[in-house]
Amino acid sequence: MWAVLRSEWIKWRKSPIMWLIFVSPALCSLIGLLENEDMGSGANQWDGLLHMMGVMHALLLMPLLTGVFAASVCRLEHAGGGWKQLLSLPVSRSAVYAGKFVCVMLLLLATQAVFLGAMLIVGMVKGYTDPIQWSGLLFSLIGSWIACMPLAALQMGVSVAWASFAAPLAINAIFTLPNIIIANSERFAPYYPWDQPVLVLLSQQLDEGPDAFHLSMTTLYTVISVSFILFFVVGHGYFRRKPI
């Protein structure tokens, strides 16, 4: 798989895909600079900023970027017989599929790192004096990244199955748009892959709100783990049997 990762890095290190990791942090920074957070008396300023910037980031932009990244890492292989050239090398299909999935997750991790940097810059510009609660902040950012794994696995399967670059993105956008409504449902939100990142990101910041945001982390991570395994196994199984 390391050979696959090196190959992927060579292919997209100078690709426009690398600039996409800055899109969500940049847009969310504008929100953070232009709006005033109101988390109640005694609330930490950084919690308010994470809540304010994180809604758009984890509810809409991260799910969309997950689909874009998954489609992008498969795009070259769908064009010009790329899958045949790649699989003619001494590398297994399992390594190829796992390597591309890891690439998607690394791009999302880079996006989270840039988002953290953007948050710190916005807070300094606004002159925050409250101490940064690093444990809670990192838990939210890393947790929401982990919560993207089921969606990334699902999007990888779709991107591998469809040669069209636009079709997986359109499907992802269609299922991302209902996020705002479904996120308010305690019954459905935890099982909806497009909502899981925002549930984890904001679960520690909201004292009031939909019950879906107050689920125990054990329950939420159990759902995330099971759905990730299911989507990854199905997508991997399809790729291993797919005629190339």
Q: Name the residue type at position 11.
A: K
Per-residue model confidence as pLDDT tens digits over 39-95: 555 578 888 899 899 999 999 999 999 999 999 888 877 776 777 777 777 788 888
Model-level pTM? 0.89
- Quote the pLDDT of residue 209: 47
Model confidence at 8: pLDDT above 90: no
Give residue for tokens 């004292």: 207
DSSP collapsed to 3 states, 115-168: HHHHHHHHHHHCCCCCCCCHHHHHHHHHHHHHCCHHHHHHHHHHHHHCCCCHHH
- Which of these, 92, 113, 107, 112, lies nearest to 12 by C-alpha position? 107
Model confidence at 149: pLDDT above 90: yes
CA distances from 206 to 26, 32, 41, 102, 242 (A): 24, 17, 14, 31, 45
Q: Residues of the chain with pLDDT > 70: what percent?
A: 91
Give the count of beta carbons closer than 10 Å to the beta carbon of residue 73: 24
Cα–Cα–Cα angle for 149, 151, 156, nearest 5°? 95
Q: Hey, where are the domains in the chain?
A: 2-241
- Quote the pLDDT of residue 39: 52
Average confidence (pLDDT) over 214-230: 83
Model confidence at 207: pLDDT above 90: no
Mean pLDDT of the chain: 85
DSSP collapsed to 3 states, 85-105: HHHCCCCCHHHHHHHHHHHHH
Cβ(25)–Cβ(118) below 8 Å: yes
User: Which residue would you say has higher pLDDT here, 24 or 178?
Assistant: 24
